[in-house]
Amino acid sequence: MTLPLLVLLELALRTLPVPRVIRACGLRPVPVAPESPTATTPTLRVRGRARLVRTGARTLGGRPRCLAQALTLVLLTRRAARDLTLHLGVGRDDAGALRAHAWVRHGGVVVIGGEEAPDFVEVERFALG
């Protein structure tokens, strides 16, 4: 189920406006505020599904973008983990070009997209709702 969903979301992100895809995944905007300093350990189910999404992304040629991976994780775990948040950020690469990145937090811990997240300034946050 992970791989077809990842491919479907990648196609949706290439053909539809991003806000529409995010809304279709059941996410709503929430205020961007500092994260709580107390983080809890993500559940085994969320960590396992995040690993499945990363593995699925590696098997696809042309590597799916981070937003497709983040949305796939949200959809796969939305029943088991209602406190997931999708974060969107912007930053600049070494040449100064603008870049965007998406990551997902669960229990205050980044579960997917965390490798690059510190290089980006968060501009938007979404929660299930």
DSSP state of 41: P
Tell me the pLDDT tens digit for each residue of 102-116: 999 988 889 999 888
User: What pLDDT is stored for residue 65 in this prediction?
Assistant: 86
Question: What band does 39 get if pLDDT is binned at 50, 70 and 90?
Answer: low
Q: Which residue has the higher pLDDT, 93 or 36?
A: 93
Chain-centroid distance, C-alpha 114: 9
pTM of the model: 0.86
Report residue 107 as tokens.
Answer: 């229990």
Question: What band does 126 get if pLDDT is binned at 50, 70 and 90?
Answer: very high
Q: What percent of the chain has pLDDT over 70?
A: 91
Tell me the pLDDT tens digit for each residue of 58-97: 888 666 789 999 999 999 998 877 788 999 999 998 898 9
Do 119 and 101 form a contact (C-beta atoms < 8 A)? Answer: yes
User: What pLDDT is stored for residue 116 in this prediction?
Assistant: 84
Do 28 and 97 form a contact (C-beta atoms < 8 A)? Answer: no
